[in-house]
Structure 1
Amino acid sequence: MAASEQLEVELKFDVDAGHVAPDLRTLPGVVSASEPQTFSLDATYFDTENLDLAGNRITMRRRTGGTDQGWHLKRPTDIPGARRELHVGFDEAPADGDAPDALVTPVLALTRERPLIPVAVISTTRTVTRLLGAGDEPLAELAEDLVTAQSLLPGGHCRQWAEWEFELLAGGTGKLLKAADKALRAGGAREASSASKLARAIGATPTVHEPKLSKRPTALELVVTDIALHRNSLIAYDPLVRIDAPDAVHQMRVACRRLRSILSGFPTVLDAERTAHVAAELKLLAQILGDARDSEVQLEMNQAVLRGENASAELLAELAGTEVVAHDRALRAAHAAMTSKRYFALLDAVDGLIASPPPGPDADVPATVVVDKAIARSRKHIHKAQDRLAAFAEGSDEWEEQLHTIRKRAKRLRYSIDATEPLGKKKYRAVGSAAKRIQAALGDFNDTRINRRRIADVAATGKLGGADMFVLGRVDARLEADGHRAIATYRKVAKDL
């Protein structure tokens, strides 16, 4: 189903009904204005019974009338005053049908298996004036709205009001937006009482906020705050994974791992028995995402190792061809998992830990005390792994696997230290930096190890000619040198831990 998306940048104001808007043709860059056009718009807004969309500042509607009638999904962005609007016309999704998948899928992590129901109907009489620049370039639109809204929630009311919306178009600039804000306020506009028509129609909703700590938090407060932060990250990357956006699989996998590391790194803060299932499900989800991420990384590495080399099409196909197939298969598996009852149950369980965390024996201990113990324990595990490394012959399989163990433990230490960020403490930043450098160095070494094995496998097929075999030899020598440099870097920074 075709859907179009655009960035909507607008100003919204309350105004007295019938108040005449100021002449905006004096704004910078504006040469003329179109004749006002009036439209009748009728919209039905959809959400879950729990208002999961409204609570995350998202609106989904079906609207008739105007120039862009159809289904719309509006989501917030990090840009002040901007929202992303996804639109599907009625030629693709009829007005009398269910909300189209193109709009439902991006919010599945929020709605899960809860049905979407009508929560409000809003009728708007809209008068639109378009501001034009040189050559009749569209710069912005002023919409003067008379709104009648009926909440469909239990005990909902009917409300009427007037508002102005000033939206930038393709040729508009931030300078124009700033000047319009000043001019409209001077012309009688007031600060909008609600962020959207729906918010005003249905009233207060349980809005999701970024968690904050008290001045002297307990260990339970810190753990719940960290869980909430990484839960929000996982939810944010979910729709991006569904469209295979760059780095999305990696970031969602990191969110899973960080959530799990909170549970494993602070095992006495929450009831371990009651969180064990959540930890196991997070591990499984990270593994599923990991298959897609590993094939993605291998594709990138295959391309990187041949950069600057005179590689034939046959060599490129041997190195990359199977990985493309593997990546597509792994991504389909991830998407299937992310539409399963099991995935939605996991998200519900994580939300449950935030809303009603099961306290462990150290729940009321000061957060700094528990953090000190967790980081000391993690450092001790790394030191033990480093001691065991000395027992293996350098270059042996056991030696390489032990380096991989050290890398994983350094990552776990880094996650534990990252968990202290809400506390604003600086004393562990040096150790965290060392853990990050160790993780990076050993990650680079592991990449060279994987690539050299891959090259050896390709060379052993006997399908390549002499020129390609020579290229593989050059690449292998370069990777070997890269591996030695990575180990040297590890040894240099290991003492800082």
Structure 2
Amino acid sequence: MGAGLRRRVAAGGGQRSHRHPGQAPGGGAAPGRGEELSPASPVERCQVDLPVGTAFRLRQLRWGRTATTRIERFETIHWDTSDFRLAAWDAGLRYRRGRGWRVTLAGWPEAGCFRSISVDLDGGPAAPPREALRLLSGYLGDARPEPAARLRHLESRRAVEELGCVHQVVSLLVDRRAVAHARRVSLRGGEELTGTRRALAALRRLGVVETTTQPLLTELVGPAAAPQWRELQLDPTSTVAATVTAALRDYSARLVRNQALLLEGSDPEGIHQARVACRRFRSALQTFGPVLDHAWAEALRAELGSLAADLGAVRDAEVLLMRLRASAADRGLEPEATERLLGRLEEDRARAREGLLRRTGTPEHREQLERTLEAAAHPGLLPEAADQPAVEVLMPLVAGSWRKLRRRATGLGDHPADDELHRLRILTKRCRYAVLALVPVLGEGPARTGALLGALQDALGDQHDAVVAGDWLRQFAAGETAFAAGILYGVERERAEAGREAWRVPWAKLRRRKQWGWA
């Protein structure tokens, strides 16, 4: 998930989020913005964990100008299902007396560190707030969490500039007795973890070298609480089954993780990335169709198409709103005139979001997510293809996607129509998704090509967005909104015309033979 998910956070870095009273299940309507937005703002955190021995002391660590060491002792109760569904997703739900509830919406390892996005909610220890259960519903399904582990923490903390250094000794308690211990040093920051180079060098001088992304809960409880939905590792010898499974697992995991951010609601990227996950999944089913059971793939494509449409209704309205508001501000339009024009679009977006939220709260949607995850974990592969080398079998399918794109692009005249460019954009997107599915197998080659396809997709996407915006604005060419609509329509037509040529720059780079040397 990486960089994409990093954009789906509110400002605030590593500071504590605003907290809002929550309610236990069955306690009536959720407070505040509960049905539309989570009552708390999400916070992104990034940390590097290093295991240490019993002899390690934080005072031995020397680097930078350090603040006073603070020592804290506290207990946390981690809630999960009996089969540790939250832990399987690197999500979490924990209670700390005096601090309330922390809901980890998503977590993932990235380049040696571990990133997480969480929301803090108030509430007593008897039961999780209703809002917490709503946000985690994509992970939990119909299961209910219960107390799964009680942990005792002894933490020594120092701060060097924006980097926090924490030595933690964490014990698993059973009947108030410590039965397992974990000892770590954590370097902690906000969205961007800076200043780690000197800190890691100082730790190396003390013999602390190895980092870990294994969750504390896994270390203490055991494999039952291990993450199950991290990326699978592939290489050039991987089979068709391993490669297709890894791709579909990745897309389904993105869909489920982004549902938590979609439900939290403060950043539109949650909806955008959930929609992208649906599109990638459906595109993979089409690209890899020759090695899949046809009926299985088509049924899954149709089911995901319905969800993608509901996500798209919200996302398209949000994109159009952001685009037109920015254009209105650039042209100095009066805010009142802008809001009169965009009021109906706001209503459309609100209705679409309400419909999407209703859908995500239904048993049918939860069952759909379960079916999608099951399909990703055990795809309907043709037996004769499953154990074949991915490079030999899937590479020609990707090459076929590229040939379709190349034929379409080279067949366009000097003045392509808007619908021709839109079709080219769709083929570009499909080709890009197919290429990216081979990145875990082949590495840098398809990654570079995928980046160039992304640049072409962006250029064509901007042209298409301008066309869509112009079509929407034409509805308001009369009456009190006519002036504002006319100004913005002119802006969008200029952008659409410019876009007819702008796409040729990334296309010229993409079509060079050397960009496809790996294929």
What is the Cα deviation at residue 284 of structure 1? Answer: 1.2
Q: Does 1:455 align with 2:478?
A: no
**Is the Cα contact below 8 Å between 1:218 and 1:367 reproduced in 2?**
yes
- Per-residue deviation, 1:290: 0.6
Specify whether residues 471 and 83 from structure 1 end up closer, same or farther in structure 2 by C-alpha distance, changes over 3 A only: closer
1:89-100 alignment runs, 5 A limit? 92-96=122-126, 98-100=127-129
User: Structure 2 length normalisation: TM-score?
Assistant: 0.72
Asked if 2 retains the 8 angstrom alpha-carbon contact of 1:28 and 1:179, the reply is: no
2:321 corresponds to 1:299: yes
Partner of 2:218: 199
Higher gyration radius (CA): 1
Residues 30 and 131, structure 1, Cα contact 8 Å, conserved in 2: yes
Aligned residues: 466
Q: Which residue of 2 is the match for residue 368 of structure 1?
A: 391
Alignment correspondent of 2:35: none
Q: Deviations over 1:284-342 (max 9, x none)?
A: 11111111111011112213443532423454124422222222222232233233323
Give 1:269 shift: 1.5
- 2:173 is matched with which residue? 149
Q: Is the 8 A contact 2:289 2:297 kept in 1?
A: no
Q: What secondary structure does 1:50 align onto?
A: coil
- The answer on whether the counterparts of 2:255 and 2:278 sit within 8 Å (CA) in structure 1 is yes
Q: Distance in 1 between matches of 2:290 and 2:510?
A: 29
RMSD of aligned residue pairs (Cα, Å): 4.5
Per-residue Cα deviation, 1:56-93 (whole angstroms, up to 9, x for no partner): 344422333xxx4432335645485666474646xx32
1:120 Cα shift? 2.3
* Among candidates 480, 487, 496, match of residue 471 of structure 1: 487
Structure 1 residues 93, 470: closer, same or farther in 2, change over 3 A? Answer: closer
5+ unaligned residues in a row in structure 1: which ranges?
none
Q: CA deviation at 1:495?
A: 7.9
Per-residue CA deviations over 1:403-455 (Å, capped at 9, x if unaligned) read 43333223222222222223317777898677556544443332332233233
In the alignment, the residues of structure 2 paired with residue 434 and residue 81 of structure 1 have an alpha-carbon distance, to the nearest angstrom, of: 28
Determine the structure 1 residue equivalent to 2:65. Answer: 29
Instruction: Determine the C-alpha separation between the residues in 1 that align with 2:451 and 2:157.
Output: 53
Residues 117, 449 of structure 1: alpha-carbon distance in 2 compared, 3 angstrom cutoff: same
Fraction of identical pairs, as percent: 21
**Which of the residues 328, 332, 339 maps onto 1:317?**
339
Residue equivalent to 1:54: 87
Q: Secondary structure at the match of 1:115?
A: coil
The AA in structure 2 aligned to 1:419 is A
Cross-structure match for 2:286: 264
What's the TM-score once normalised by structure 1's chain length? 0.75
Mapped partners of 1:430, 1:167: distance in 2: 32
| DSSP-derived class of the 1:60 partner | strand
**Are the counterparts in 2 of residues 404 and 442 from structure 1 also a CA contact under 8 Å?**
yes
Preserved CA contact (<8 Å) 2:314 2:352: yes
Q: CA deviation at 1:251?
A: 2.0
Q: Counterparts in 2 of 1:65-144, with a 5 A limit?
A: 68-74=98-104, 76=107, 78=110, 84=116, 86=118, 88=120, 92-96=122-126, 98-123=127-152, 126=154
Q: Which moved more, 1:226-235 or 1:294-303?
A: 226-235
- Tell me the distance in 2 between the aligned counterparts of 1:276 and 1:351: 16
Q: Tell me, yes or no, if structure 1 residue 404 matches structure 2 residue 422.
A: yes
Shift of 1:9: 4.7
- For 2:239 and 2:390, locate their aligned partners in 1 and report how far apart those are by CA, in whole Å: 5
Contact 1:241 1:248 in 2 (8 A): yes
Which whole-Å deviations, capped at 9, do the CAs of 1:236-265 have from their partners, x for residues lacking one? Answer: 322222224243322221111111111111
Separation in structure 1 between the aligned mates of residue 452 and residue 385 of structure 2, nearest angstrom: 28
Please say if residues 268 and 363 of structure 1, whose CA atoms lie closer than 8 Å, have aligned partners that are also in contact: no
Distance in 1 (alpha carbons) for counterparts of 2:407 and 2:76: 64
Query: Quick one: distance in 1 between partners of 2:201 and 2:411?
Result: 67
Deviation at 1:21, TM superposition (A): 4.6
